[in-house]
Structure 1
Amino acid sequence: MKKLSPLDKFGKFMMQNFRDKGIHFAKGLLAQQSKAPDLQELQNVLSTLTEVQKDAVIKTITETIDRAMHDFLFALQEQADFDNEIQILVDEQNVVELSDGIHGEAYSDDGWIAKHSQHK
């Protein structure tokens, strides 16, 4: 197996621990998989949706997560361009400095979503 670059390690981490977990959680709620008492009312409401509506909910949540991820990474990029007070190091390398625009790394045909996400 090919060794991942620090930038790709970070991207894989973001996909698995931010994007995929959020989408998986939402799909679990729609499928009424949570046993948490505080989520039962929400799951009951979601259970009344049609499949078309459920698909729209998942698309909305996915787009929201992707936008939040983009905005977070863009803020990291801007911060690095000016103050550079917040750094994310992988293998002792600043991942923002390894990219020419970290906020766009997820979105190409060979970006992080395509390579590392369970939800394409």
Structure 2
Amino acid sequence: MEDVLSYFGEVLIKEVRDRTIHGFDMRVTGKMKDGDSQKLYAEMQKMSNEQRQLIERIIPQIVDLSIHNMLFMIEEYPNIDLQVEAEKMSELSDGLSGELYTEDGWIQRFTKERYEEI
């Protein structure tokens, strides 16, 4: 298996970040047909184009901050850890939350969804 830390990062980005962004994009564009999604879509239609674009920009930022905070929590609480292939993720990195960022970070390497550094 490839580098365990990279494997974890790839799965995290594809299965959590990308799926969440895609799911919300589907909701705010009216492509999800359940009642709650349609209510959200109807509310979005009341907004100006600029306001809708802002929401679309904010979605990945909220997802990224949530993932960042979860990874930081794992670093801060020694009694909580993640293991992949019997390897503790917090021991393989000098800062799990930092693995998300930079040009060779997990987001840049693995995402299929939009990303904007702020």
TM range (shorter): 0.7 to 0.9
With normalisation by structure 1, the TM-score equals: 0.86
4+ runs deviating over 6 angstroms: none
Q: Matches of 1:48 and 1:116 in 2, distance apart?
A: 34
- 1:67-93 C-alpha deviation (Å, 9 max, x unpaired): 1111111110111xxxx3222111111
1:88 lines up with 2:86 in the alignment: no
Contact 2:28–2:40 (CA under 8 A) maintained in structure 1: no
| Residue of structure 2 aligned with 1:105, choices 95, 99, 106 | 99
Q: How many matched pairs? A: 114
Q: Are 1:34 and 2:65 matched, yes or no?
A: no
Counterpart mapping for 1:62-81 below 5 A: 62-79=60-77
- Whether 2:52 is the aligned partner of 1:54: answer yes
Q: Does 1:116 align with 2:114?
A: no
Q: Deviation of residue 115 (structure 1)?
A: 0.7
> C-alpha root-mean-square deviation of aligned residues, in Å?
1.5
Q: What is the rounded CA distance, in whole Å, between the counterparts of 2:89 and 2:25 in structure 1?
A: 31
Quick one: distance in 2 between partners of 1:65 and 1:38?
20
User: Structure 1, unaligned stretches of length 5 or more?
Assistant: none
Q: Percent identity?
A: 28
Distance 1:4 1:53, change over 3 A: farther
Tell me the SS of whatever aligns to 1:118.
Answer: coil
